């Protein structure tokens, strides 16, 4: 299946979804007024990928900012990953946050408590 | 005496103001404000933590305006831009303050007031639970609003939301919201 490659903008993150490598990446800022438009194709892609996923899927989420509109869409992305994990495939979500950014760490922990997929919280130094 | 936009805005624009705006709240305006504020915070070398919190509050409060603002204001005599709203960022006693203002239909006051009072009555852990519950159980509106903005602001700032409703006419109140960071 075709990968998704999207460049970042001031309001939307860069995205790399690669089914051949089993790597899913979302990085940058996610603060669009309406996040559904942006995330719908990503969720659809994952739904398709979930039918025949690799043994191991690695997810890297490294966000500098995200708004509450995006927070729901990110949960939708994670729910698709949870389904893959539930079907006995390895999924690991690396949640990156900057050293002093407790809010971003806490946001990751919120997702970790809702989604049944192993999370790894990774601090990025300056 | 009835509420007067100009007097209200003039009063807010006094003091140590980082940015003061009144007019249409559009997607482009939000971009411009965020960019301008980031530049100013760079200039004064603001601490990373404060910068992030302020930026988050700005995004949520501007997008709250964007999602909830009335397109036109029937029966308001002053000439207003469509999607009219007010945003002021000021510094006071070493803290930042974000103030937003917009006209709200009288029928929505009760809901809004109850929502804010509820948020203000919760402690840190309760806010976290409320946030997670809404995140997990409520669908996004067609416009992309999630009902999470104010909860998120209260959670990230750790301060109470200060608000007033000024009666304008039979149909409208002017809603003033003050957020300390």
Packing angle, helices A68-86 and A102-114, rounded to 10: 40
Q: Name every chain B residue with its beta carbon within 8 A of the beta carbon of A10.
A: 31, 34-35
Residue with tokens 């903005």: B149
Please report residues of A whose CB lies closer than 8 A to that of B56: 65, 67, 103
CB atoms within 10 A of CB B22: 19
CB pairs under 8 A between A and B: 73
Q: Which residues make beta-bridge pairs with B32?
A: none
pLDDT range class, residue A126, cuts 50, 70, 90: low
d(CA B10, CA B41): 24
Contacts B30 to A, Cβ<8 Å: 33
Residue of B nearest to A71 (CA): B135
What is the band of B70 on the pLDDT scale with cuts at 50, 70, 90?
confident
Place of tokens 């009666």: B167
Domain regions of chain B by residue span: 5-106+160-180
Q: What's the pLDDT band for A4 if we cut at 50, 70, 90?
A: very high
Q: How far is residue B115's CA from residue B71's CA, in Å, rounded to a whole number?
A: 22
B131-to-B127, B148, B150, B177 alpha-carbon distances in Å? 6, 7, 10, 20
Tokens of A37: 């438009």
pLDDT of residue A32: 96
How does residue B128 score in pLDDT terms, banded at 50, 70 and 90?
very high
Judged against a pLDDT cut of 80, whether residue B144 lies above it is answered with: no
Give the one of A65, A69, A114 whose C-beta lies nearest to B144's C-beta: A69
The Cα of B176 is separated from the nearest Cα of chain A by a number of Å equal to 21
Domain B5-106+160-180: which CATH number of 3.30.565, 3.90.660, 1.10.3470, 3.40.50 = 3.30.565
ipTM of this complex prediction, to 2 decimal places:
0.94
Residues of chain B found within 8 Å of residue A72, distances taken between Cβ atoms: 135, 138-140, 146, 148
- Those residues whose C-beta lies under 8 Å from the C-beta of residue B83, and which sit 6 or more positions away, are B24, B25, B26, B66, B69, B70, B71
pTM for the model: 0.94
For residue B163, count CB atoms less than 10 angstroms from its CB and return exposed for 0-12, middle for 13-18, buried for 19 or more: middle
pLDDT at A72: 94
Protein fold of A22-124: Transcription Regulator spoIIAA (3.30.750)
Of A10, A101, A114, the CB nearest to B132: A114
Mean pLDDT calculated for residue range B157-162: 96
Sign of CA dihedral B18, B22, B26, B28: negative
State chain B's mean pLDDT as an integer: 91
Residue of chain A minimizing CA distance to B28 = A33
In chain A, which residues have their Cβ closer than 8 Å to the Cβ of B49? 100-101
What percent of chain B is predicted at pLDDT more than 90? 72
Nearest CA distance, A43 vs chain B (angstrom): 15
Contacts of B77 (CB under 8 A, 6+ apart): none
Query: Residues 20-49, chain A: which have Cβ within 8 Å of B?
Result: 31-37
């Amino acid at each position: 299946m075709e990968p998704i490659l999207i460049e970042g903008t001031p309001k939307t993150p860069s995205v790399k979804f690669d089914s051949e490598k089993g790597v899913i990446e979302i990085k940058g800022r996610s603060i669009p007024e309406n996040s559904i438009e942006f995330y719908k194709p990503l969720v659809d892609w994952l739904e398709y990928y979930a039918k025949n996923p690799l043994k191991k899927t690695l997810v890297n989420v490294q966000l500098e900012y995200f708004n509450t509109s995006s927070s729901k869409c990110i949960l939708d992305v994670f729910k698709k990953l949870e389904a893959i994990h539930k079907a006995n495939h390895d999924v690991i979500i690396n949640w990156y946050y900057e050293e002093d950014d407790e809010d971003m760490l806490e946001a990751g922990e919120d997702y970790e408590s809702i989604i049944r997929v192993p999370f790894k919280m990774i601090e990025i130094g300056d | 005496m009835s509420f007067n936009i100009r007097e209200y805005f003039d009063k807010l624009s006094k003091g140590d103001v980082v940015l003061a705006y009144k007019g249409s709240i559009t997607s482009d305006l939000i971009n411009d404000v965020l960019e301008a504020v980031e530049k100013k915070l760079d200039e004064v070398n603001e601490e990373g933590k404060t910068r992030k919190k302020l930026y988050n509050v700005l995004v949520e409060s501007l997008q709250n305006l964007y999602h909830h603002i009335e397109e036109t204001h029937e029966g308001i005599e002053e000439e207003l831009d469509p999607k009219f709203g007010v945003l002021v960022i000021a510094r006071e006693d070493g803290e930042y303050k974000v103030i937003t203002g917009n006209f709200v239909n009288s029928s929505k006051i009760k809901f809004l007031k109850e929502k804010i009072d509820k948020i203000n009555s919760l402690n840190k852990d309760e806010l976290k639970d409320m946030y997670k519950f809404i995140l997990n159980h409520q669908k996004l509106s067609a416009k992309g609003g999630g009902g999470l903005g104010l909860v998120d602001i209260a959670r990230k700032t750790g301060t109470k939301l200060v608000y007033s409703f000024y009666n304008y006419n039979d149909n409208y109140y002017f809603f003033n919201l003050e957020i300390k960071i």
